[in-house]
Structures are given as C-alpha cells and as structure tokens.
Amino acid sequence: MTKKSSSEKLYKQAQKVLAGGVSRNTVYHEPFPDYANVASGCYITDIEGTARIDFANNMAALIHGHSFPPVIDAVIEQLKKGTAYTLASEIEVAYAKHMIKRVESFERIRFVNSGTEAVMAMIKASRAFTGRSKIAKAEGTYHGTYDFAEVSQTANPTNWGDINHPASVLLAHGTPKSVSRDVIIFPYNDVERTLSILDRHADEIACVIIDPVPHRVGLMRGTDEFIEAVYAWTRKNDALLVFDEVITFRVNYGGTQEDYKVKPDLTSLGKIIGGGFPVGAVAGRAEVMKVFDPHEKNLLLPHSGTFSANPITMTAGYKAMQYFDRKAVTKLNALTQKAVGQIREAIQLADVPVSVTGAGSMFRMHLKATPPTSYREAYLSKEAGALVKELLDYMYYQEKILMINTFSCMLSTVMTQKEIDRLTEGLFRAFKAFKPRIEKVNNS
C-alpha cells in the first residue's frame, strides 16, 4: 500500500523536530502516519482527502464524535472570556455539582489534566490516607504513564511468572527497581488467587486498583463476585478500593460502577469527561478526598496544576456530559449491541475463530474461538499480533475505517446504523480474506 506524497513530506519534517516524528506512538503507522485535516461527526478526513469512519474516537475520548456543535458553541463563548486564570471559575463548580449528582460514590471531586494524572493523584491520595506505600493492580492493565501504574502492563510469557505469584514487571527502561517492590500483581477476575496474593501483603497495601472493564486485559467486565470479594478484602484490611474509570465511565450514565452493589472509595476519570479537551479527575469519599484540602492543619497531599479545571475544558466537559444523559447512554449502548450482534453473525458466516468481548459502547475482537477470560488468555503471540495489525491496516486502507490498535471499537452518539453496516460488512470481507491465517494463529 502506498501513501500520497503530502503525508510523507510532512513526516520527514516531523522527524527533524519530534522524537520519532510523533508525540504519541499510537498515531504512528508504517511507514509514516497520516495527518488529519478536518473531522466532523463520526468521520475524519486526512490531508490527502481520504475520509474514514472513526471507530477509535481519539482512543475512546470522544463520546459525541468530532466537532459536536453544542460543545463547539459553548467553548467559543468561553474563549472570548479567557482560557485559563490564576482564579477559580464558576463553571468548575457547576461541573463538579453535576458529576457528584451523577455518581453515587462521588462526594468530592478534583479536576486535573489527563487520565494518567488522575490515576497518579488517586494513588497518592490512597497512600496519604492510609499511610501505606504499596498498591495492587491486575496483570496487564493500563493505568497511564506513571512508574507504579505501568508495572506488568505488558508482561509476557517470558517474564510474567507463575500465575499464583505473578511477577511485578517494570515497563520503561531505567525505571527504579524499587518500584516493583511496591506494586503487587494479581490475575483479573480470579477471586481465589487474588485474595491469596493480597493476603500476603495485607498490612502494606494502600489501595487495590480495579479497571472494571480493562481494555488491555481483554475488555471483559469484572464479575460481581470478583468486585465484591476485593471490596470485602479492603474493608477487612483497612485498604481502599479504587476504580480507574478513565475509559469505562462511558459504559453507564454513572460509570461501570453503577452495575455493582459495592462502591469504590475513589475513582479516576478522564477521556469523555473533557468534551474533546485534555482532562482528568479524581473523585470519591469526602473523608478520603480531605487529603487534598488546604484547610487541613496537617495537609497530607499538597496538590495543584497550572491547567487543572481550566474553564475551556470545564465548559466542554460539562456540555458533553449534559448531552450524554441516560437516554443517550441507553441509545448508544443499544446501537453497540446491534453492532456486536452483526459482527458475530459475520464471524459465523465467514466461519472464522473470532470472538467479541466488551461492555457499554465499546468492544474488542479476539482471534480466538472462545472469548478470553484473563490477560494470559487474551495475550497475543507475535504471529497473532502481526495479523491483528494487518487486519487493522485492511480496515483502514481498504474499508476506510479507523479502529483502535487492539482490534477494538469505541462508538460515539453521532453514529447510526449506516456506520454499523459499513463496519460489519468490512469486517466480513476482512475475515474472509484472512481466514486461513486467522485459523492458523488460533491453532498455534
């Protein structure tokens, strides 16, 4: 496949000023990335003039697609008033009131600038509140680019260790080895093994971090039994149960946590709550959130940020969440279920060993006949990973459909049955074209 000259010329310039020619590796495609020109609704057009349906939505961040008019109008009005101040803003208060009313477990909230920063604040708050240093997280989960959050994010068969004693595997070269000693790894949705692992560090763990539908693990929902067992363990051992809902907040009106009987002590947020602008937030029990409170005589966690709660993001996020009401959530989730049903029909008609997992308005396809239930089951071999990349390229270049690099889709409210049909018809053609190789990697 060849690309036209404009993107290639631009990338040659980018290589001279950007490390690797990009600022985030997720947008890089061999031999060079495409560059966006304009995006509207659920379509994005590159500088070569090629339009594609966007099922990536900036890595799940755009719940209303691109250039959503109510957000654009509100932001333009705020731009005229200013973009950031060394003063608080009324819109921050209004948005905070909306979020606290929206989610049962939210008693206080603080806004930050990214999902990574939200997880960092959540971990630090947990440590400040409990006085403990260790955290526990599931093997394979992505919680942003923070030393402790990255541990075992990409663990593989050569280093992940025994399932009863998963290794704490550092990600970035040069990360202090001491980091691994403060991160306990457990297998997601495995109650017996997880509790056994946590028990070995019962008096050292500040928090257990749960992504209720972990994308990198396999995009399967945390079972009621698992979530309730971990919650009970944290109550017994004076630790906190904290949720990373940066991606999963889109699942329900009040996030995935709305599905469970038990509620987390803290939750980190990001992506869709910014209305298309950089955002993060940490919210939860007032007692725990007090560690941020400057009124406290003994302030446990001093916290600021130059662009935290800037009025542009607050305006865009508030407007986006107002439009993502219960009716919109129900409609989008129903459309997603229609898409999953059609994809499963395409899988059956093409007679390929592919399965689908997901929740709410997101799903992921696996080159396995049976849906994986754990990170180790979902793990892609080198051959399977290469095939997934080729399938994504086929969808991108031949079908003009942009997906997330895990063979996943994150839908937006502006999508219709027309886009779902395009997706499923394209996948059907892809499954047929790659059938022998899909069968081969499934059997290897």
**CA–CA dist 126, 205 (Å, integer):** 9
9 is catalytic: no
**CA–CA dist 170, 183 (Å, integer):** 10
Local structure of residue 248 (DSSP, 8 states): G
Q: Which of these is catalytic: 124, 271, 319, 368?
A: 271
375 is catalytic: no
**CA–CA dist 211, 387 (Å, integer):** 27
**Helix, strand counts (H, E) of the chain:** 15, 14
Which tokens go with 344? 């499963």
Q: Which of these is catalytic: 54, 134, 137, 142?
A: 142
Which tokens go with 120? 């960092």
Strand order in the sheet with 401-402: 36-40, 43-46, 51-54, 401-402
Residue whose C-alpha is closest to residue 104's, from 211, 226, 222, 257: 257
Provide φ and ψ at 210, rounded to 5°: -125, 125
**CA–CA dist 314, 320 (Å, integer):** 10
Residue whose C-alpha is closest to residue 50's, from 388, 417, 301, 401: 401
Cβ neighbours around 381 below 10 Å, total: 13
Which tokens go with 336? 């997603």
Q: Which of these is catalytic: 182, 244, 265, 319?
A: 244
Burial string for 127-143 (b: 16+ CB within 10 Å, else e) reads bbbbebebbbbbbbbbb
* H-only helix segments in 237-381: 286-289, 311-323, 326-350, 375-378
271 is catalytic: yes
Which tokens go with 355? 């399965």
Which tokens go with 214? 């972990």
Local structure of residue 182 (DSSP, 8 states): T
Enumerate the active-site residues: 142, 244, 271
